[in-house]
A and B are shown apart, each in its own frame.
Chain A
Amino acid sequence: MSVREEHGLVRYSLFDRILHWFVALTFIYLMLSGLALGYPRMAWLYDVLGGGSTVESVHPWVGAGFTIGVVLMLVSWAKSMRFNDIDRQWTRGLGSYTKSGHVDLDVDKYNAGQKGYFWFAIVTGVVLLLTGIPLWFPSLVTGGWAQVFRLLHHVFFLLSVGGFIIHVYTSTVMFPGTMTAMTTGSVSRRWAAWHHPRWFRDEEAKGA
């Protein structure tokens, strides 16, 4: 009998996990190829990724795939990402959360930080799409507008990478036991009870 069946609570379906890793991988590709396109000192990444022409032609298509992933995430997860009173309290306790890794609140499936990152990723994703389209089809814009879109694309690239670093750090190094949610799809009872007590009780009640 597997650990999952014995102790685990299912947190993400197979669909959720495939969606997450699809968005993650496309994001990583876009970030690396974007670094090459935006930073002369990182131009060696062109070679790693198959050469400048390849990067130039693949980057927008991967961006389109990323966008589809982001839209699917929005459709399937937005409902559980609405902010409530607990989230407001959580946000006030952010200082102690980052220090001790715990806030004594009856958190449901997501805390305000997770919800915040979700919406941050959606917004940056949408802006990156909108500013990326005129770079993909240069004939859509004339004159200095191309440069304006490049600048905006770059600003939101930096923001999204910042969010990405925090996301990876919190879900791997900072909070042990989190990663299995996106690998096996389940988390331990103690992880669920400690970080998401309300969600834990509801899931246990379902199972009983």
Chain B
Amino acid sequence: MATELGLAIKRRSASPASSTDIRTEAIEVSKLVDIDLCIGCKACEVACKEWNDLPVDETENFGSYQSHKDLTAATWDLMRFNEVELDGGDLAWLIRKDSCMHCAEPGCLLACPAPGAIVQYENGIVDFDQQNCIGCQYCVAGCPFDIPRFDPESKKVYKCTLCVDRVSNGLEPACVKACPTGSIRFGTKEEMLIYGEEKVAKLRGRGFDDALLYDPQGVGGLHMMYVVPRGGMLDEYGLPEDPTVKAASFFPVMSGLRKLGSLSMWAGIVGTAIFFLRSGRHPVPDEDEAVAAAQARAGSEGAEAGGREQAK
């Protein structure tokens, strides 16, 4: 697994866009969850907590194998269990490891107004830097997979880092390391695509006709893909069919508006200065003249016709 990769930054939230990268072949990494091999043991959940030093969220029995109802600011990885009745009366037990997908077009990063609170590395990892997070939660609204979680106490947002600290030192993410069946895999995006496509072909051979590799292009592709045996049941797995960056058209409009905004603000200041040079100040004439003019108005028709009577 020769995926030791440095931390060259590709994009940084709320920072003036600037491409400083001259590399031609940045190697992208990816996780891949082969749902076919997953036994729902939750070792990945535990490994995630341990490696990232995350406090325990109390578990709750709500009639499911699932440890917690939902992701939280301190639970970045959650096995979701869903029981679905099939047409023939059979039962399908759908299990999915839910955590950040590390989109190539990260809706969270695009929405973030805090410089450097979200960074995307050349290797595809999207990471939050809580030091720079201002707690506005725009990323929560921007994420098409409902992943980031706001912690009201620290007023910061948290999510899976894809163990960027491990990956940059040549190690696989903690969840991958802990997975006993090899369901969670890690490698270059290319390797994972090859594995995924081969696996999908095998599944189809075994009768899972709608098996698919989940790597939606609406978000530019993922750096955590799934091999989904029952591809017709994405909804039941909790995976959006065709996720896109939410309100994607907002971002170009917004950036156009920013340009217009800064342009018009400068135009306003320069225009006002030119207006001043042209027209100058308008001082009032001396008191006698001004008062005389005002008094002269008193009897004039204009004064009677205008103003207060109609306005009342």
Contacts and interface: CB of A to CB of B under 8 A. Distances in A.
B291 A106 contact: no
Nearest to A44: B115
A52 B290 contact: no
A11 interface: no
B141 A188 contact: no
A148 interface: yes
Interface string B248-292: 001101100110111011001100100110010111111101110
Contacts of B284: 176-177, 188, 190-191, 194-195
Contacts of B297: 106, 197-198, 201
A16 interface: no
Interface string A98-120: 11111001101000000000000
9 contacts: A37-B113, A52-B114, A53-B155, A84-B307, A146-B138, A190-B284, A198-B307, A201-B294, A201-B297
Interface stretch (A20-28, A62-70, A122-130, A153-161): A153-161
Contacts of B254: 147, 150-151, 154
B15 to A, nearest CB: 5
Interface in A161-208: 161-162, 165-166, 169, 173-177, 188-195, 197-198, 200-201
Q: Which of A39, A40, A195 has the most chain B CB atoms inside 10 A of its CB?
A: A40
Given A106-B302, A143-B247, 13 more contacts: A56-B134, A82-B311, A84-B310, A106-B297, A142-B141, A143-B246, A146-B111, A154-B254, A169-B275, A174-B281, A174-B282, A195-B284, A198-B308
A150 B155 CA distance: 20
Interface residues of B, number: 62
Interface in A58-77: none
B283 to A, nearest CB: 5
B46 interface: no
Nearest to B141: A146
